[in-house]
Chains A and B, each alone.
Chain A
């Protein structure tokens, strides 16, 4: 009986192990690399695991804007409840973003260009997915209305899944982002991808209701774009099931703290610039 049982046990283990061993792929050395195109060039990719719909929330702000910290709090609260579905970016632009003497200037040429293009008149102003209403940008100046706009945007599916991985060489400040897209349904619009860098945890001077706070922590601060400010074309047929990927290279200025930076990417409709999907990943 004992011997019979032992035989069966050994047989079962061998079968199970043999099954598992087949679950082990071997790639020939001649096939390690597959042609995939040059920098910024779109090539056929693979299915994207992360199919979550996310919302891009950009806040136009300034260090001399007394109400802007309220918007930070409102967006932070939305992030707390919705987590990584929300991708926040703070763009310092306009008159209220003039730096205090001796403090860093967070303004950028790109931020000013967007500020002008979208017709930002007051701070804080928030745009959710750069949505439009009859050709006019939906600009929210009442921070209490941001939450509703975010929920509304989340209910609209862009039909594209997006993933990014970032690789960064701290020794020379060069990095690249690998972007993967999967069309979950047919998308007829021409699309662009915009990639940018944000930085968290910057301590600086900010006007608040109680006066000037010299130790204000600025998060999601827009630093630079990796692509053109209006993005790079997404070369894809837009058919359901199409998977495309591309790499975008960049150099990070040494005054940005790489360990506190994130890469943010979003897919826009080329004609309206409305955003249909976005993603974020740590820079390193």
Chain B
């Protein structure tokens, strides 16, 4: 253990490379090392880790020379950190590409990431915190034939851990700026961009039996298309996208033949001191993967944008919204307002208010004529009235944050959230959890190099503790963080599950930053739960031990 720490600290000081010049080009890169030592703790459900030390390592190397660039990413999961899929186990070059671009076009061969519109039909991205990487392996071409037009086209297969999925994904997308293309709108205050995309997935036939004596006649090519619009006028903005998907019987929708559709609308208004954003979406059967039988987080071709606030405070993030690709309707309103300084409520330094409300419901689903159940394999599944909201509440969140600078050195933010969470979002049965969460966050700048911050959090739930869900019951949390000498920080926290398991989840963390290098070492207990980013979630198992994180770039 001691040796490991010495090695890690030594590497901090040896990886101080600068961007290197090579053959007239530039070489840049970065490293990330995450290591974990966890021991068995039956009280919180942490299982024994026979390997003792687990690690995820990423190293990017990028070479650029004029319009040419090439890069590789080394990844190692020996063995993967707790909660990461065991299929990641291994090490090697996970991502490689070369690309050339000029004013007119850009071509990338190898691995690439891209997105059409808001992602309703195509989004290839990496989120290593979620253990998710659906990088494409193929060719991606972007053409800008004239100002105001971008045409993209691609073909490839998706990454599946250390392999590629069976499905072949092809796509084309066009984005047109009306103001650039039509002369009389060039100077218009109203800016309009229109776009459309189409994705087609090909996958070989396979045998999926349905009931006794029958198998499914599967569509080998599945298409999805979308139209979108981006409108801006002064302080106002409006974005909308509508997508449809052809017959796509797959494991997510229980192999039904109904087509899918999705609508996403976002309207915004902003002026000095005020920002308003309203969003709505409706999703119906839009799980779109490059392998029809694939479960889990990998091989999604598309991405459904989340419609709830991404909470950063631990107890507020205890029950996150999880995107329901088979059907959901949601609305979200987000308002930020700054009360001017010198007013009664604004005081000497002004006051900030952030309000957010989101609600996600099921969609209307009715059995097909002659059927009593919804979503029967080998049928059209169900009918759905586009404008009718379903009966089931999935998620509701109202939260308000008031932040105020108390003096030149002190700042206080208090937040309240009311969060309703239906376990059906996790495919679990049970009553809806109604939670009231309070947070006070106080920051005090002691001097130019020392900052002290403290958090107090309290979650009160209507659901009594039960052992299968370690989140249940009520919670208290306290955190103290000290940033000193501008380079070091020390953080101590405890989450206490009172009226529940009575477990304390304490954590101590120290960190050091030197130029572009950062080392963090933490020790403590991690509660079993979900880590969600943008509605996409990864299960995080309980653990008790040491975590080490080192990042550096050059």
Chain A residues at the B interface, C-beta cutoff of 8 Å: 2, 5-6, 8-9, 12-13, 16-17, 20-21, 23-27, 29, 31-39, 41, 43, 45-47, 49, 163, 165, 176, 178, 180, 203, 215, 217, 245, 247
Contact = CB atoms under 8 A, between A and B. Distances in A.
Nearest to A33: B214
A283 to B, nearest CB: 12
B219 A26 contact: yes
Contact of B207 (A12, A20, A24, A180): A180
A9 B247 CA distance: 30
Nearest to B202: A23
Contacts of A37: 213
Interface in B367-394: 378-380
A183 B159 CA distance: 29
Contacts of A245: 207, 215
A47 B204 contact: yes
Interface stretch (B143-151, B228-236, B403-411): B143-151
A27 B217 contact: yes
A203 to B, nearest CB: 8
B413 interface: no
Nearest to B201: A23
A215 B48 contact: yes
A27 B217 CA distance: 8
B357 to A, nearest CB: 35
A59 to B, nearest CB: 19
Query: Which of B145, B209, B216, B225 has the most chain A CB within a 10 Å cutoff?
Result: B209
Contact of A9 (B145, B198, B212): B145
Contacts of B212: 38-39
Interface of B: 48, 50, 145-146, 149, 151, 153, 166, 170-172, 174, 181, 196, 198, 200, 202, 204-223, 225, 246-247, 257, 293, 378-380
Contacts of B218: 27
A45 B219 CA distance: 15
Interface SS, A side: mixed
Contacts of B174: 13
A29 B257 contact: yes
B222 A32 contact: no
B170 A6 contact: no
B26 to A, nearest CB: 33
Given A2-B146, A24-B246, A26-B246, A35 B206 contact: no
B17 to A, nearest CB: 32
Closest 4 CB pairs of A and B: A24-B223, A25-B219, A36-B215, A46-B205
Contacts of A26: 219, 246-247
27 contacts: A2-B146, A13-B151, A13-B174, A20-B170, A20-B200, A21-B223, A23-B170, A24-B221, A24-B222, A25-B219, A25-B221, A25-B246, A26-B247, A27-B257, A29-B257, A29-B380, A32-B378, A32-B379, A36-B207, A36-B214, A39-B212, A46-B207, A163-B206, A165-B208, A178-B208, A217-B50, A245-B215
Contact of B153 (A8, A16, A23, A217): A16
B146 A36 contact: no
B247 A20 contact: no
B295 to A, nearest CB: 9
A32 B380 CA distance: 9
Contact of B146 (A9, A12, A163): A9
B152 to A, nearest CB: 10
A24 B200 contact: yes
A20 B223 contact: yes
Given A24-B221, A32-B217, A33-B214, A49 B166 contact: yes
B217 A31 contact: yes
